[in-house]
Amino acid sequence: MTSPAGSPETTATPRPDDFTDVDDVARAFAEHGYVTDRRLATTTFVMSRLGKPLLLEGPAGVGKTELAKTLARATGRRLLRLQCYEGQDETKALYEWDYGKQLLYTQILRDKAAELLTDTTSMAEAVDRVAEQDSAFFSERFLAARPLLEAVRSPEPVVLLIDEVDRADEALEAVLLEMLAEYQVSVPEIGTFVAEHAPYVILTSNNTRDLSAALKRRCLHLFLEYPDAERELEILRSKKTGLDDAAASQLVDIVRGLRGLDLRKSPSISETIDWARVLAVLGVTDLDAAILADTVSVVAKYERDVERSRAALPRLVDPNATVPHPHDHDHGHDHGHVHDHGPGTHRHDEDTGGKQVRAAKDVPGRHDEEYYGQRSSGSGEGTAGGAREIPATTRSVTAAQGARSFANRGGPKNSARRRPV
Ligand SMILES: Nc1ncnc2c1ncn2[C@@H]1O[C@H](COP(=O)(O)OP(=O)(O)O)[C@@H](O)[C@H]1O
Ligand SMILES: [Mg+2]
């Protein structure tokens, strides 16, 4: 329903009855194939009660978009999606006039228009006469609503997903702010549309740029990380990949190990799922380094990442594998290098070491534009603010440095391992 300006209906009220409590959110999401944790379920529940937008930040593939889709399925609401991109303007977000339809109507009504103008004697008079008909052509009939207006106009409550808002320009962010503050949209020729039901609004960001403080202030905020091993295994199970449980559990550990490496693009949940499916199709029940190396391109999408992942796989598959350590032979350990992933130690370091490694990569200006354009993960471990606090000069010793030390042991014939980094 629309409510032109001046209508007594000026405030939108959230519907309090979609979820009874936090557990109800977790249950409903699980029913629709989305595995939550306590923090996620709590924030979603609070959002549903407060009617405030929820901003989800985090690397690509951790379930941000899926959360909004699941929220729509779980509540039976229609999902409206505004996919943001650079250069997008408000006509794609709010509304535009349907020029083609207006033109068609004027052609069909040509005779009627001529009739209207028969008794006019001057051009000015004819123009005035036409202008009197403005409202007929700038009416809701000719309004092409885009997702924001559509959400406000919808007679039924909806879920509005504003996806990858960090890709939008700041000008569009200002338009969003206006809409999110009041859940209303003004069309000067018609009036102000006010939402009858506050939509559930989910914004997502892959952290390719900082969002304005004003936008963040208006939203509940949740940083979505890669899940812990238990939840990732649960997600794998829920996707019925065909990989047996023991292998799936091992795979989760291996992927987590890969995330701890200094990769350009860390494997996401969706890639773990893909990998499990690939291994299941191949009939693999027992994961070994060879089969994982053969299929690692499912999760490593850059040549350098593939090499690094392959080099790390034997140790990730078997932490007790006896891999010769270059420094055990060459020289002592008093030169300031940190070997954060010697045999058997890596997986224990991963939760902290991996996080540090990825945070250290998230230094603005470290990569060129093309890189930021494609890369949407691995950038935002911890809170967004936390990641950016690391000064550009901070040098942390990365897992890859250790890997390079290993690689050099391969000798000059192994050209792949000698690639400069
Ligand atoms: N908590 C979860 N429960 C179930 N599946 C998940 C979960 N998180 C991620 N996924 C899976 O990962 C895929 C990628 O998630 P997506 O929402 O597209 O990532 P993002 O928007 O964060 O980049 C989803 O399609 C879904 O299959
Ligand atoms: Mg997404």
Name the residue of 66, 164, 224 whose CB sits within 8 Å of the most ligand 1 atoms, as the mutation to test its pocket: 66
CA 235 to ligand 2 centroid distance, Å: 17
For position 13, what pLDDT does the model report? 53
For the stretch 19-62, pLDDT in tens is 999 999 999 999 999 999 999 999 999 999 998 999 999 999 99
Structure tokens at 401: 């440095």
**From atom 8 of ligand 1, which residue's Cα is the shortest distance away?**
63
For position 139, what pLDDT does the model report? 87
CA dist 133 and 135 (Å) reads 6
Three-state SS for 128? helix
Domain residues of the chain, as ranges? 22-94+146-223, 95-141, 229-418
CA 395 to ligand 2 centroid distance, Å: 31
For position 331, what pLDDT does the model report? 42
How far out from the chain centre does Cα 176 lie? 17
DSSP 379: S
The ligand whose atoms approach the alpha carbon of 26 most closely is 1
For the stretch 172-218, pLDDT in tens is 998 899 889 889 998 888 889 999 889 999 999 998 888 999 999 99
What number does CATH give the domain 22-94+146-223? 3.40.50.300
For position 262, what pLDDT does the model report? 93
Q: Are strands 54-57 and 200-205 parallel, antiparallel or unpaired?
A: parallel
Q: Are strands 95-97 and 143-145 parallel, antiparallel or unpaired?
A: antiparallel
Q: Which atom of ligand 1 is nearest to the CA of 269?
A: 12
The helix (H) or strand (E) run that includes residue 192 is: strand 191-194
For position 116, what pLDDT does the model report? 83
- Give the CA distances from residue 404 to residues 137, 256, 303, 337, in Å, rounded to whole numbers and listed in that order: 68, 20, 15, 12
CA dist 43 and 28 (Å) reads 14
Spans of the chain, pLDDT less than 50: 1-10, 14, 326-355, 357-421
Name the residue of 270, 272, 277, 374 whose CB sits within 8 Å of the most ligand 1 atoms, as the mutation to test its pocket: 270
The helix (H) or strand (E) run that includes residue 57 is: strand 54-57
For position 382, what pLDDT does the model report? 35
Q: Which atom of ligand 1 is nearest to the CA of 69?
A: 17
Residues framing ligand 1 (Cβ under 6 A): 33-35, 60-66, 204, 235, 238, 269-270, 273
For position 247, what pLDDT does the model report? 96
CA dist 280 and 282 (Å) reads 5
Q: Which atom of ligand 1 is nearest to the CA of 60?
A: 23
For position 9, what pLDDT does the model report? 43
Q: Half-sphere exposure of 405 toward its Cβ, with a 13 Å CA cutoff? A: 20
**From atom 1 of ligand 1, which residue's Cα is the shortest distance away?**
35
Owner of token pair 């932490």: 319
For position 126, what pLDDT does the model report? 87
For position 364, what pLDDT does the model report? 43
Amino acid identity at 256:
R
CA 301 to ligand 1 centroid distance, Å: 18
For position 261, what pLDDT does the model report? 95
